[in-house]
Chain A
Amino acid sequence: MDWSFLFETLKTLLAGVPLTLQLATTALCTGFVLAACIATLAESAFAPARWFSRLYVMLFQGTPLLVQIFVIYYGFGQISFLRSSFAWPLLAQAYWCAILALSLNTSAYGAEIIRGAIAAVPEREIEAGRAIGMAGLLLRRRVIWPQALRYGLANYGNEAILLLKATSLASVITLMDVTGLAYRLVSKTYRSEEIFTVAGLIYLAMTFVIATCVHMLEGHLNPSRRV
């Protein structure tokens, strides 16, 4: 085994970690805000709002992320009002296209997780809250949201891991994240096994860190389950 080459590869690929993390965290935060909006619409009393949220989730969960990236990166240039709009300087860049696609994609999955977590809050706890005079935001802030956070955290952690892996698709539209750098290095050196293995180990390490953090946070939020 060529240790010095592996070490050099590791150093080259680690340079892509900041971009990968940037894509993942930006998309996770924007995606969460969008997801909360979509989940709210799903529970709305206004039927078209519910239809919209269902269509949104179906659209982004039912098509491959790669297709969504291509529609945004290649397809949006064809829409003339987008080309003349204020958003065009951003949408003309692969980076922002990737962020947009990843955020929209993860928000559809996130909306389902949030909806499920809120539905999992026991009815009796909400009733108890109402019985002592809580309503509206107070009820949500004190009873529904804290409980929903506990129910949804594990699932949202899984989604964060899936999102981190999904950022690797941004390399297809020329972004130099860990996968992009690995691909470029392979086309220079033809040593695919070593390079892609090192890249895979970097992703494994990152997913391990996320999983551990989520697990610790879960333990923190559920003192009763601690052993």
Chain B
Amino acid sequence: MKYSFPPLILSLLFCSFIFADPDYHERLNLQPLTPASLLASFNFWSKASLQSYEDQHFKYIPRSLGQILQHARTRELHLRFSTGRWDDESWGARPWGGAKEGGTGVELWAWVEADSDAGSFARWITLNNALSGLFCASLNFIDSSRTTRPRMTFEPASKGHNTSMENLYLLHGTLPREVVCTENLTPFIKLLPCKGKAGIASLLDGHKLFDASWQSMAIDVRSICPEDGSECSIEMEQTVDMVLDVQRSKRPRDNPIPRPVPSEGLSCDETKPYASSDFCYPSDISNGQSWTIAEIFGRPIQGSCLAEDSKGNPLDSVYIDVPNEREMYITSGTENKHLSGTCRSFTLPKSEPFEMVLSHLGPQTFNEHTTPPLFASRSFTGHGQERGGVQTLLTNPSFTSPISFVYFETLPWFMKPYLHTLTARLSTSSTPNQILIKETFYRPALDRRRGTQLELLITVPANSTVILTYDFEKAILRYTEYPPDANRGFDVAPAVIRLLSNDTKAPVYTRTTSLLLPLPTPDFSMPYNVIILTSTVMALAFGMIFNLLVRRFVGADEVEGWDVVALKAKMRGRVMVLRDKIVKKGREKKVQ
């Protein structure tokens, strides 16, 4: 099993591990991040033989998803639900090298088997509709205008199948506006063999997951045909990564409102010059990060889930990345300190709960976090309702080696870039540098049918920043095309960056944040105003012509009009009569 040996970059982040169980295993990796954050990576991996999968005998590969994939002839699927922003300045490199995360919202890409482009798109729509029902997400809104066919950014993770690779089509779609929430997590957990009843999945809870600073849920399905000709298999991996704010998570669930810490409970930074009994500068909380699993996740782990190898030996399920000198306590199970000195792992007891304490006693040390290979940030420039611009800063932190990568952007059709304004320059110079962009793949948008697809092969020299800019024009939409809250703006999907390296490592990805594009929005009562105004104008014109034709024109003194004076006198007479009546009545009353 080649996949079981994680690449070098992962082993820096995670403890290295070897899978021994034939069909299913799960693991939780806890990694304290400074300051006061905790990265929790849940990984569930299952496998079945391709034969039994195609015969619809499902065991660990869930039936609901398996049938959808077979119905849509999907060979490989990658589905991502993400919220929040990975703060790579303070948290370092991304987990899994960014390979198991998506842009904000929902991202989906799949290799679909078909005879033609049109056929693959029809199956892609089928797939989206079915997944939309399964995951309670708006995936059915991934239509042709949100679908792209990337050329350089994604490579199939499936192995083998060399003969049938020609009939596979890669399609990619994003929904940056989608709000990921509990209704997406529940079906996700239902796909697991132990359903969150046992094993590490028992910690997954919507309240904690969607309260996290950053979270990403991923589903990857791929097929593997070993080169030695042994039986093909299908693999499914479900991953949940989240960065929890330790202080926030420790708040009691029934009383989550933050309250001021009483003065005796404050930990003050005594090195400040003004430090005294009256002044307190709160010290960095990470210095004393200590927690238990129940404090962070609200409950302990409820036993193990299929965590045995084929011989019945228990497997390590929980890993934590802290130096060996940190003190930790566990209620049951066994602890296994790894040789690297920065990691240890635990087995879970079969059915009783498992609790783990990261103690505040002893040395409060952390592992150094690694620097990400690339920093990327993207923002809007430009002004006004019509013209805009995009500026992306790409920073290579390495002092020695340049880095090259594929920069992939999908823009909605109403954001029309001018490719001639696409320039890349080093931050130190003000003139564009032609050699930074090695290759460009550009597929222009078609109104309402297709979005812009832009793939750039860029190289950033060592220790420098490249600024990538282009201008675009904002289109005016039709009245019905605006979403209900049009003034909020339109989400633009995050750019995907795939780092290229010469050796055959697992792919490393980075994503920028999504952008919010303000478009000129009309006054939405406009159609009614237009109808009324047009009607009025038409009626005026008609009335004028009609009257000209029908009316008889006479001199002003010849009009048989009303006698206004006579009318006035008549009215006055009526009023007098009425007044007399009232007065009379009043008198009669008085007399009585």
Real binding pair: no
